[in-house]
Amino acid sequence: MTEIMIALGWAGIYAPMALGAIASAIGCTIAGQAGIGALLDTESGYGRYIGISAFPSTFVIYGIVVMFTLNRPVTPENAAGLFSVGVLAGVAFLYCGVQQGRACASAINASKEKPEIFGLSLAPAAIVEGFGVFAFVFALVVSAGIAGGA
C-alpha distances (whole Å) from 43 to each of 37, 40, 51, 54, 105 are: 12, 8, 17, 21, 18
Structural domains in the chain, sorted by start: 2-143 (1.20.120.610)
Kindly report the pTM of this predicted structure: 0.91
Provide DSSP, 92-110: HHHHHHHHHHHHHHHHHHH
Per-residue pLDDT of the chain (150 residues; tens, 9 = 90+): 799 999 999 999 999 999 999 999 999 999 999 998 888 877 777 788 889 999 999 999 999 999 999 999 999 999 999 999 999 999 999 999 999 999 999 999 998 888 888 889 999 999 999 999 999 999 999 999 998 755
